[in-house]
Amino acid sequence: MTSEKRISSAMSRREFLKMTSGVFCLTMAGPIVNVMEGSMTITLPPLPYAENALEPVISSRTVGFHYGKHHRGYVDNLNKMIAGTELEKMPLEKIMQITAGVPEKSSIFNNAAQTWNHTFYWRSMKPGGGEPPAKLKQKIDAAFGDLSACKKELASAAVGQFGSGWAWLVLDGAKLKVVKTANADNPAVHGMTPLLTVDVWEHAYYLDYQNRRADYVGAVLDKLLDWNVAADRLASAEAK
Ligand SMILES: [Fe+2]
């Protein structure tokens, strides 16, 4: 079954646990659990740069709303939902793990995954972007042909995602792939290792680009993606 089909297909809880058993390692150079031991509270990680650092590609106003209202909202909602439950003492990744694919826990999963996805998104970009380091470049060339083809596939996934969602560069087994997910879903709960992501919810770009999602995606891919952090995430996954 392909990654895309895996993502779009409904998984039973047993399938999910089997798939993620031993491989649910989401602390790689990216999304930080950011849970103080024993605090029982999921906290909002600080932005890794100033709110205006991504200009002119993403405005300070967009980052301010996106991080300060949307991302914070997911964190706050999650904390309200898990207060007083068995989930309250768990780290974010664990909450995602045990609520994914469980219909009656979908609201908790959505807020947990959106908390995780956004932290991962902010850390998938840096002012000025850059180029992939040699080892990652070789893997990109092997999987896609070249970096340009990889970006083209990412753009196609990002623009082609119907409605809200995410486009991802992932490590699936030993191979790099591009996948897209809807709403809060992410490849990590499907046994893949995310390396980079682009948020294509309208709140990520509408203030700056209105309906021109392709322009936002193209600018992020060309000017903001942090290929060094992708290489770090890859190295961390391959070391396991
Ligand atoms: Fe978002």
CA of 66 to the centre of ligand 1 (A): 6
Global confidence as pTM: 0.86
In a domain, 120, yes or no: yes
In a domain, 52, yes or no: no
Tell me the pLDDT tens digit for each residue of 16-37. Answer: 333 333 333 344 344 444 444 4
Q: Report the run of H or E that residue 65 belongs to, with start and end.
A: helix 60-65
Q: How many independent structural domains does the chain possess? A: 1
Q: Can you tell me the distance from the alpha carbon of 9 to that of 201, in angstroms, rounded to the nearest whole number?
A: 21
pLDDT score recorded for residue 34: 41
Of the candidates 3, 84, 5, the one whose C-alpha atom is nearest the C-alpha of residue 40 is 84
Domain region containing 202: 1-43+59-240
CA of 209 to the centre of ligand 1 (A): 15
CA of 75 to the centre of ligand 1 (A): 12
pLDDT score recorded for residue 39: 52
CA of 113 to the centre of ligand 1 (A): 11
pLDDT < 70 stretches in the chain: 1-40
Domain CATH code at residue 231 = 3.55.40.20
Long-range Cβ contacts of 135-138 (<8 Å, 24+ apart): 135/231, 135/234, 135/235, 136/227, 136/230, 136/231, 136/234
In a domain, 50, yes or no: no
Contacts of residue 69, defined as CB under 8 A and 6 or more positions apart, other chains included, come to none
CA of 105 to the centre of ligand 1 (A): 21
pLDDT score recorded for residue 13: 36
CA of 111 to the centre of ligand 1 (A): 11
In a domain, 54, yes or no: no
CA of 166 to the centre of ligand 1 (A): 9
pLDDT score recorded for residue 108: 98
In a domain, 51, yes or no: no
Contacts of residue 41, defined as CB under 8 A and 6 or more positions apart, other chains included, come to 35, 79
In a domain, 225, yes or no: yes
In a domain, 226, yes or no: yes
pLDDT score recorded for residue 33: 43
CA of 109 to the centre of ligand 1 (A): 15
Residues for the chain: how many in total? 240
Q: Supply φ then ψ for residue 236, to 5 degrees.
A: -65, -40
In a domain, 70, yes or no: yes
